[in-house]
Structure 1
Amino acid sequence: MERYRGRVAMVTGASSGIGAAIVQALLREGLTVVGVARRIHRVKVQHISQDANSDTSQPPGKTEDWKRVLDVNVLGLSICTREAVQDMLSRGVDDGFIIHINSVLGHVPAIDDVVVIYSASKHAVRVLLEGLRLDLVAKKSRIRVGQISPGAVMTEIWDYQTKFSKEVAVAMAHMQPEDVAAAVVYMLSQHPRVQVYDIILRPPGCVF
């Protein structure tokens, strides 16, 4: 991680959950972190010491709910990635790293009708990452890319679910945001000749 100390990392969804844990982990490693999120007041209180999605029940579901999931998980991710890569390339940065936070649901068929749109968005993240990797190869860039695909993580997302109560979620096999942040640090810490492309995290006892 020494090569990244003092350099700038941008973390999206930094107001809570996985994003906030990644901010803390990177600060501890000596990086300068720019945290972005819709709830800016919560980012401002971050110091060294997932933005919650709305209910994703579909189908049936409201078009605006579907659009919100796709806007955040697919379009927002794509725009942020495009801007970050273009900025690196324009400045001649050849050892940068793009890490997407995906989900284990991006690697399996939709498990039920509740998370089908969410699962679809996470499958899209996988395809977009491979497209980005191939584009960088074509540009002869050494910028590395990867994704972290966790199973259930105890974040605020459970406060917005209608099918599962918070108590049910707590009883499930789950991880903490810090576990995902540790995987990010591991991915970054590998030698530049190594591109750890995908890390799947599952808590013991996970059924999918």
Structure 2
Amino acid sequence: MVLSMERWIGKIAVVTGASSGIGAAIAGRLVKEGVKVAGLGRRVERIEENAKKLSEEKGELHAIKTDVTKEEDILNAFKWVADNLGPVSILINSAGIYRDPPLMSGKTEEWKAVIDTNVMGLCIATREAIKSMQANKIDGHILHINSYLGHKIPASPGLSIYATSKSAVTTLTETMRHELIAAGSKIKISSVSPGMVETEMTVFSKILSEERLNLLKQLASIKDEDVVDALIYNLSTPPHVQVHEMIIKPVGEMY
């Protein structure tokens, strides 16, 4: 199997959650590989700063202010991409949030924020990307940033709603694979499930409880760049190869 990113040079990628963490890292890497990237995120000024830093690279980074909990924002973002860049070839669903309210006493708005971001936003973006790919006869690639918690849940309180959202991503990846097969499509769909990653959402979070942060900081972890390498590997596979699920864990992870 020959691995190559050459077929994506000059093509259009949409990356959600592109203002920080894995989303920002993969957006930058794709630009260096020669891809034209539409970076979607609420903190659009961060994406714009990254675009300036990447201005001498082979590809391009375009910042689009988008809140993935709002369908209208996602639809407007994809329309801007179609009108200004062209049809979508790659979608990276990286937008995600982590909250740790227990089911016994958590607040409804916190649960809803997790589901709307991690599940509904992902579904809407996936639908719009596939529409673009099908309309333009593009055998593209959709990758979801999932989590190991979407496959196995450790005995730790406070994971209920987040783990539920990631379990949904695991299921959606498989059901979408079957939908694409039934439609006779060669669009690829993949889930990349990291274990503990050092990001603003975890060990550098400003909203998690001190108890939760102390627990997370004790765990073995990997970095954004490790996940990006996995995503690039997945995108580099030839058209007839689909890596449907990748689980990436730090050495020494206990669960």
Tell me which residue corresponds to 1:143.
187
Given candidates 17, 28, 32, the residue that maps to 2:32 is: 28
AA at the equivalent of 1:193? H
TM-score scaled by length of structure 2? 0.77
Note the C-alpha offset of 1:67.
Answer: 0.1
1:152-190 CA deviation, whole Å, 9 max, x = no partner?
11111121321322x553442001111111111000001
- Moved beyond 4 Å, runs of 4+: 49-52
SS in 2 for 1:157: coil
For 2:110 and 2:215, the matched residues in 1 are separated by: 23
For 1:122 and 1:44, the matched residues in 2 are separated by: 29
Moved more, 2-11 or 42-51: 42-51
1:107-146 CA deviation, whole Å, 9 max, x = no partner?
0135333111000000000111111111111111111110
SS in 2 for 1:78: helix
Once the two structures are superposed, the pairs formed by residues 138-177 of structure 1 within 5 Å of their partners are 138-158=182-202, 159=205, 160-162=207-209, 163-165=211-213, 168-177=215-224
For 2:223 and 2:231, the matched residues in 1 are separated by: 14
SS in 2 for 1:74: helix
SS in 2 for 1:145: strand
Kept in 2: contact 1:110–1:119 (CA 8 A): no
Tell me which residue corresponds to 1:186.
233
Note the C-alpha offset of 1:52.
Answer: 6.8
Is 1:16 paired with 2:61? Answer: no
TM-score scaled by length of structure 1? 0.93
Once the two structures are superposed, the pairs formed by residues 47-196 of structure 1 within 5 Å of their partners are 47=51, 48=54, 53=97, 55-59=99-103, 60-93=105-138, 95-109=139-153, 111-158=155-202, 159=205, 160-162=207-209, 163-165=211-213, 168-196=215-243
1:12-42 CA deviation, whole Å, 9 max, x = no partner?
0000001011111111111111100122222
Identity of aligned residues (%): 42
For 1:37 and 1:154, the matched residues in 2 are separated by: 19
Alignment length, in residue pairs?
A: 206
Kept in 1: contact 2:114–2:162 (CA 8 A): yes
Moved more, 109-118 or 195-204: 109-118
- Alignment CA distance shift 1:51-1:198 (3 Å): closer
For 2:112 and 2:154, the matched residues in 1 are separated by: 18
Structure 2 unaligned residues grouped into runs of 5+: 58-93
Given candidates 35, 38, 42, the residue that maps to 2:46 is: 42
